[in-house]
Amino acid sequence: MACVEIVHELDKRLRLRLLSDADDFAQTEVALRQLPGVASVRANRACASLTLAYDGQPEVRDAILATARRTPSAAADTWRPPPAANARRVTLAAGAIAATLLLPAPLAAAITWLNIAGVLARGILAASRGKLKTDVLDALAIGVPAARQEYATASVTRFLLALAEHIEATTVQQSDELLRSLLRQGPGDVWVERHDGELARVPFMQLKGGERVVIGAGETIPVDGPVVAGDAYVDQSSVTGESLPLPHAVGDQALAGGVVTDGRLVVQAERVGEATTPGRIARYIQEALDRLAEIQTVSSVFADRRVGITLATAAVVFALTRDWRRIESVFMVDYSCAVKLGTPIAIKSAMYRAAQEGCLVKSGTAIETLAGVDTIVFDKTGTLTHNTLEVTDICPLDPGIDEERAAAMVASLGEHTSHPIARAVVGLAQQRRLAHIPHEAVNFIVGHGVEANVDGRRIRFGSRHYLEDDEHISFADARKTVRALQEQGKSLLYVAADERPIAVFALRDR
């Protein structure tokens, strides 16, 4: 356990002092930045302190202290400092180059040896443990020219190594943070229905199984569980890939991450927090981020194996030429570091770019597998669409109703709902500049359709089930038209006036 002292604490702000070495301090800083609920971390290495801003939840505070007290793994041989530390090293290395070119030789020598001391120490430590790692090669590539008083060469080499480490650390951190931001679950507060029927606003982190959670239009469902009251349309595209909102009524299963587009639900919490569907996905992704892809492990081992070959080559070159410059060249042209650094950068960069484009890659292993894929099978058509319906056909069924009149009526009633089918018709009416048709109060039947009085007639539109099965309005005369549109893979909207069908709309998602 690392020694941690709380120096100062305010609501949603915590300042800690860590008694640990520089590497452990840096690793703890990185771990704290990755905790859910932590907004920012500011490090002051001179005072060995970390100042954190978080969401104020007790669970997050406990997680911060537990993480800070946890001793980082000493087995993390491939761990590298965070980007901020590497950026400082790049700056110092660049300054050392200028110093070797402008200052007298004694000062240039002192600055060079201070600049490369860390690299030399890592190489000596690895060699003393009997490990021929790239750290040994780095130390030789820098130490040989420094020993021969070629301070500019040593400083430039140190600068290039520091720059490579900075690029790697920055790429890795950006990709991981982006992926984690996509996976952060839950709103700040949720409404819970108590036994006396009153609503109480509670923090998301304090939700417990068995509670009745109330979700209104526009809100995200925070728990997995059955619907016990209400009905609504739920957009589950972020969880299941369904391109259209699905109706939810009593008895249906609600999934965390879905968004209520219309209506209101009361959900009995069966699974909360990390136990929900998005929570399990997030945990899986987090484990994947912490797990090296096979190619990264192989490349790291391969790079370390090449160190022995390089050293043997250098020995042969020296035996044949007795030229120290040629040995320096052997060390400088070795590709071990490029293999070891380049592979994780390539993997993380690919994951980062994919996330920017809206594609969540589960792990580096998935990218490796993708290289050999020649066929992709999608289990839901919603994953291949723009999730925006467009009206493709308007088929009037009443001689007294033309396309524009039918579109104007549906749009006038449909502008009061956010259902995608209604929005598509509203968008069409706006494009055609159709006039708004006055109507009486609109009645929404979630999962079925909409109805209202227009010019003394009861206008209804919605699903076939709503109009034919519930309202007993027959569309038998339009069966041929309906079948042709369905064979084209289009969604249908049925429209009736009183007890007569007047139009069928066909819509399609690109």
The DSSP line for 32-44 is HHTSTTEEEEEEE
- Given a cut of 50, is residue 59 above it in pLDDT? yes
- Given a cut of 90, is residue 145 above it in pLDDT? no
How many whole angstroms separate alpha carbon 32 and alpha carbon 46?
Answer: 19
Tokens found for residue 7: 């120096």
Residues 34-45 have pLDDT tens digits of 677 788 888 776
DSSP category for residue 220:
B
**pLDDT score at 338:** 53
Q: 117 CB contacts (<8 Å, ≥6 apart)?
A: none
Mean residue pLDDT of the chain comes to: 79
Tokens found for residue 135: 């750290």
9-13, 135-139, 189-193, 262-266: which range is least confident on average? 135-139
Residue 212: inside a domain, yes or no? yes
Burial class for 189, CB neighbours closer than 10 Å (0-12, 13-18, 19+): middle
- Given a cut of 70, is residue 129 above it in pLDDT? yes
**pLDDT score at 311:** 77
**pLDDT score at 289:** 58
Tokens found for residue 124: 């000596």
Residue 364: inside a domain, yes or no? no
- Given a cut of 60, is residue 243 above it in pLDDT? yes
Boundary of a domain, candidates 38, 69, 100: 69
Average pLDDT rounded to a whole number, residues 88-109: 85
Residue 114: inside a domain, yes or no? yes
The reply to whether 176 and 318 lie within a common domain is yes
- Given a cut of 70, is residue 142 above it in pLDDT? yes
Give the CATH number for residue 198: 2.70.150.10
Boundary of a domain, candidates 244, 275, 306: 275
**pLDDT score at 73:** 43
How many whole angstroms separate alpha carbon 437 and alpha carbon 409?
Answer: 6
Local confidence band at 298 (pLDDT 50, 70, 90 cut-offs): low
Place of tokens 């301090």: 25
The reply to whether 193 and 177 lie within a common domain is no
Residue 363: inside a domain, yes or no? no
- Given a cut of 80, is residue 332 above it in pLDDT? no
79-93, 119-133, 360-374: which range is least confident on average? 79-93
- Given a cut of 70, is residue 63 above it in pLDDT? yes
- Per the DSSP assignment, residues forming a β-bridge with 451 are 443, 460
Residue 378: inside a domain, yes or no? no
- Cβ–Cβ under 8 Å, residues 279 and 285: no
The reply to whether 171 and 34 lie within a common domain is no
Residues 418-438 have pLDDT tens digits of 778 888 999 999 999 999 999
The reply to whether 437 and 505 lie within a common domain is yes
The reply to whether 266 and 301 lie within a common domain is no
Count of structural domains within the chain: 4
- Cβ–Cβ under 8 Å, residues 264 and 223: no
DSSP category for residue 448:
T
The reply to whether 176 and 198 lie within a common domain is no
Local confidence band at 205 (pLDDT 50, 70, 90 cut-offs): confident
- Residue 133 to residues 73, 86, 128, 281, 333, Cα–Cα distance (Å): 19, 20, 11, 36, 16
- Residue 134 to residues 22, 127, 160, 310, 343, Cα–Cα distance (Å): 21, 10, 15, 10, 14
Burial class for 46, CB neighbours closer than 10 Å (0-12, 13-18, 19+): exposed
The reply to whether 213 and 333 lie within a common domain is no
Residues 372-416 have pLDDT tens digits of 899 988 776 556 777 778 899 999 998 888 999 999 999 999 888
- Given a cut of 80, is residue 31 above it in pLDDT? no
Which comes out higher in pLDDT, residue 446 or 59?
59
Residues 472-487 have pLDDT tens digits of 999 988 999 999 998 8
Place of tokens 């484990």: 287
Give the CATH number for residue 424: 3.40.1110.10
The reply to whether 166 and 258 lie within a common domain is no
209 three-class SS? coil
393 three-class SS? strand
74-78, 198-202, 268-272, 411-415: which range is least confident on average? 74-78
Average pLDDT rounded to a whole number, residues 250-267: 87
Q: Which phi and psi (to 5°) does residue 376 adopt?
A: -120, 130
Percent of the chain scored above 70 by pLDDT? 80
84-98, 340-354, 358-372: which range is least confident on average? 340-354
- Given a cut of 60, is residue 119 above it in pLDDT? yes
Which structural domain, as residue segments, surrounds residue 113? 83-181+284-356
How many whole angstroms separate alpha carbon 7 and alpha carbon 50?
Answer: 10
Average pLDDT rounded to a whole number, residues 117-140: 80
Residue 376: inside a domain, yes or no? no
**pLDDT score at 432:** 92
State the chain's maximal CA–CA distance in angstroms.
105
The reply to whether 464 and 398 lie within a common domain is yes
Half-sphere exposure of 364 (CA within 13 A, CB side): 21
**pLDDT score at 79:** 45
DSSP category for residue 64:
H
**pLDDT score at 430:** 92
- Given a cut of 90, is residue 194 above it in pLDDT? no
- Given a cut of 50, is residue 75 above it in pLDDT? no
**pLDDT score at 427:** 92
The reply to whether 114 and 52 lie within a common domain is no
Which comes out higher in pLDDT, residue 374 or 194?
374
Task: Give the residue numbers marked as catalytic.
Answer: 379
**pLDDT score at 76:** 40
The reply to whether 35 and 131 lie within a common domain is no
Among left, alpha and beta (phi > 0; psi -120 to 50; other), residue 498 is left
The reply to whether 406 and 271 lie within a common domain is no
How many whole angstroms separate alpha carbon 411 and alpha carbon 426?
Answer: 4
Average pLDDT rounded to a whole number, residues 142-168: 82
Half-sphere exposure of 308 (CA within 13 A, CB side): 7
- Cβ–Cβ under 8 Å, residues 30 and 70: no
Percent of the chain scored above 90 by pLDDT? 16
**pLDDT score at 245:** 79
Q: Which phi and psi (to 5°) does residue 486 adopt?
A: -65, -35
pTM here is: 0.50
